[in-house]
Structure 1
Amino acid sequence: MDSSQTKKSQNNQQGDSHQFLQNVVVMRHGDRVDNFEPLWTMTAARPWDPHLVEEGRVRAFCTGRKIRNGLGFPIHRVFVSPFLRCIQTAHEVVYALCAVDDDPNSLSSKDVASIDPSKLKVSIEYGLSEMLNRQAIRANLAPKDGNFGFNASELQALLPAGTVDTSATRVYEELPKWEETVGGARDRYAQIIKALADKYPSENLLLVTHGEAVGVAVSAFAKDKSVYEVDYCAYVELKRPVESKNDSCSAGDFEVYTDHGKTGVSYVVGDGSLLDHV
C-alpha cells in the first residue's frame, strides 16, 4: 500500500474532524418604560411586563447594527426571553441583522425597507426570563396567582415575519416558578446559556435577555470577575472551541471575550481593581 492509500485508510478509520469557534452573545433588553414614566404601572394591564420606550427601540436597533458590523461573524440563531421588552428588543436587533440595505442612517426597524429572513432564525426561550422574585419584580406588581400570562403564539407574531423557528423545542418548556431564589435564577442563566450552545454547537447564537443574565455570562465563565453594572442593550461575547467528528461534536469551555471598545458591561476582578467596559 502506497503512502496516499495509507493516509486515506487512516482518514477513514479516524473520520473527518473539523475544529471551529462557537460564538454566543448575551444581550440585555433596551430602555423600559417604567424607568422613564414611574406612574405607568398604576394603569398598566400588565405592570410586570413593561414595553420599550422609543429610545430603547433605537438603542436596540443600533446595537444590532454594531453586532452585525463589528463582531466579525454572523448570528445564526436568536433566542429571546418572553418578556415584552425583550421581544421588542429582538425585533429591532433582527431587523438590523437582516436588513437588505444596511443604511448607516437608519435608526430603527421603521427605517428598513426590507429584510432577508433567511439569514437567521428566532425562538422564544422561557429559560431566559427575568428573575421571578421580589428582587426583580415588586411583589405588588406581580400577578397574584403567579400566572404571568405569556402567550407564545402572540409573542411570535411580534417578531419579524419569516424569522420565527416554530419547529424549535424549548429547553425550558414552562416559565420558572414565582419566588425563585437569586442563586437559583443565576444557576438557571448559566445552565441555559450552555444548554442552548450545546443544542446548536455549529451555530453562533444571540441571547436577548435581562441584566442579571448578562452579568452571569461574565461571572459564570470568568470566575475572577464580578459584574456591578449592565447598561441597556449591553452585551457579552463568549467563545469556545468545538470539534466536529463523525456527526458528533465536543466543545471546550467558554471564555469571556473582551473585544476592543465598550459594550456596556462593567465588572471588577478578584483583587477589586476596576476594568474597562467589555
Structure 2
Amino acid sequence: MSSERLSALTDPSLERVVYVVRHGERIDQIDPSWVNTAPEPHDPPLTKLGVAQAQRTGEYIAEDRQRNGYNTALTVLSSPFYRTLQTAEGIIHGVTKQSGLAERPALYLYPPLSEWLAIDYFPEPLPHDSFTHSNRIGQFPFLKPPKVDFPSPLPPYPESRIEMRQRFLHSFLHAIENYSSPSTHLILVSHGAGCQAIPQQLAAAQIVRPFELRIPETPYCCVTKLVKKPNETEWCLEVCAGTQHLTDLLERTGTEFVVGGPTPVGGGAGPSDGQNVRWRAHG
C-alpha cells in the first residue's frame, strides 16, 4: 500500500476510535469430535463460554465508552465466518444491555477481516456460498445490506503471510474511510491473525507507537483500542490485546502466537511461509 494512501490515517484533522476484537472460544478447539458430524467443518461456531466472552466484551466496551464520555454511534464490522458473526452479535448485546443505547449498533459483513487463508490451515479453497450476505442474513437477521461491494466474500486463496498482513492493513484504512466518522466509532471483529496484524502493521508504518510493536498473544475476545485524536498525527494504542474483562471467563485454548514474523516480545516464533504449521487455535 502506498505511503500516500496511508497518510490519510495521520491527517491531523482525523478523529477516530476503533476497537479490534478477536472472536470468542470456538467449539472445535474444545470438542475435536465436532468436525466429524459438522455440516460445515471449516466454519465452527462458538462454545457457550465463547458466547459469554463476547457478551462480556460488549459490556467492557460500553464501560470504556462511559468512562471516556463517548456519546457516539457504533458500527460493527465482522469477518464473514460464523464464529466472528456470533461474537459480533454478542458484543452488540453486551454493549446495548450495559449502556442502554437507544439505537442498536449497525452490523456489516466485512470480508477484509476474514481468517488468514493459509494453505497450511486450509488445504482446499473454502466454499464461498457459505460466507455471502444472502446466506448469512438468514442466520443473522440484523445484518445491514452491504455498504460497499466486494469482489468476493473471502480473500484470495491461498494467502501468504505477507499478503495477509497487507490485507489487514488495507482493511483498517478502508474501514476508516468508508464506515467511520468522529460521531461513529468502530468495532472490528476478526481472528487471531488479524487482531495481531492490524496493530503491528500500523506500528510498522509508523502510524501507531511503539513502532517496534510485537504482540505475542491474541487470546479469545481480546480487545485492542486504537484512538486518533484531532491535531495529532499518530494513533494512540490505549489497550493492546487486553483480556482484563474476562477474569472469570478465561479461555481454555487460543492463546498461541498466531502470525509468523520476527520473534515477539517474550520469545517464541510464529510460523513462516511454507512451514508445516500445527496451530490448534488458529483464527
Q: Quick one: structure 1 residues 43 and 262, their matched pair in 2 at CA, closer, same or farther if it must change by over 3 Å?
A: same
Residue among 164, 182, 189 paired with 1:185: 164
Query: Among 218, 225, 241, which residue is 2:229 paired with?
Result: 241
Tell me the TM-score normalized by structure 2. 0.70
2:108 to 123, 147, 150: 123
Alpha-carbon distance between aligned partners in 1 of 2:38 and 2:51, rounded to the nearest angstrom: 20
Kindly state the Cα deviation for residue 33 of structure 1 after the two structures are TM-superposed.
Answer: 0.6
Q: Number of residues paired by the alignment?
A: 230
Structure 1 contact 57–89 (Cα < 8 Å) conserved: yes
- Aligned-partner residue type, residue 130 of structure 1: E
Give the structure 2 partner of residue 169 of structure 1: 148
The aligned residue for residue 29 of structure 2 is 35
Partner of 1:94: 92
Q: Which amino acid aligns with 2:223?
A: Y
Say yes or no: does 1:220 pair with 2:201.
yes
Q: SS in structure 2 opposite 1:188?
A: helix
Q: Which string of whole-angstrom CA distances, capped at 9 and with x for unpartnered residues, describes residues 75-130 of structure 1? A: 5210000000001111111111123xx39xxxxxxxxxxx8672421100111100
User: What residue in structure 1 maps to residue 78 of structure 2?
Assistant: 80
CA distance in 2 between partners of 1:116 and 1:263 (Å): 20
Alpha-carbon shift at residue 167 of structure 1 (Å): 5.3
Secondary structure, counterpart of 1:68 in structure 2: helix
SS of corresponding position for 1:230: coil
Distance 2:138 2:116 in 1: 24
1:45 positional shift: 1.5
Structure 2 CA distance for aligned equivalents of residues 33 and 95 of structure 1: 21
Letter in 2 for 1:52: L
Determine the C-alpha separation between the residues in 1 that align with 2:189 and 2:174: 15
Structure (1 or 2) with the larger CA radius of gyration: 1
Alignment root-mean-square deviation, CA: 3.2
**Alpha-carbon deviation of 1:224?**
0.5
Q: Is the 8 A contact 1:21 1:240 kept in 2?
A: yes
In the other structure, the counterpart of 2:276 is none
* 3-state DSSP of counterpart to 1:204: strand
- State how far apart, in whole Å, the 1-side matches of 2:243 and 2:34 are: 35
- Specify whether residues 42 and 138 from structure 1 end up closer, same or farther in structure 2 by C-alpha distance, changes over 3 A only: farther
* 188 and 167 in structure 1: CA distance in 2 versus 1, 3 angstrom threshold: closer
Q: TM-score, normalised by structure 1?
A: 0.71
Structure 2: which 5+ runs fail to align?
Answer: 1-11, 204-210, 247-254, 267-283
CA distance in structure 1 between the partners assigned to 2:145 and 2:155 by the alignment: 21
- CA offsets 1:9-32 (integer angstroms, 9 cap, x no match): xxxxxxxxx957310111100000
CA–CA distance in structure 2, aligned partners of residues 19 and 64 of structure 1: 29
Give the 5 Å matches for 1:1-278: 21-71=15-65, 72=68, 73=70, 74=72, 76-99=74-97, 102=98, 118-135=103-120, 137-139=121-123, 142-143=124-125, 147=128, 149-159=130-140, 161=142, 164-166=143-145, 168-170=147-149, 173-199=152-178, 200-202=180-182, 203-222=184-203, 223-242=211-230, 252-258=233-239, 262=244
User: Do the aligned partners of residues 255 and 271 (structure 1) sit closer, same or farther apart at CA in structure 2, a change above 3 Å counting?
Assistant: farther
Range with bigger deviation, 256-265 or 170-179:
256-265
SS in 2 for 1:206: strand
Change in Cα spacing, 1:40 to 1:29, as seen in structure 2 (3 Å) is same
Q: What displacement does 1:59 show? A: 0.6
Aligned partners of 1:170 and 1:83: how far apart in 2? 18
Unaligned runs of 5+ in 1: 1-17, 104-114, 244-250
* Deviation of the 1:168 alpha carbon: 1.5
Write the distance in 2 (CA, Å) between the matches of 1:209 and 1:271: 23
CA contact (8 A) 2:18 2:188 kept: yes
Work out the CA distance in 2 between the residues paired with 1:125 and 1:227: 24
- 1:256 is displaced (CA, Å) by 1.9
Q: How many angstroms does 1:152 deviate by?
A: 1.0
4+ runs of 1 displaced by more than 4 Å?
A: 170-173, 263-267, 270-274
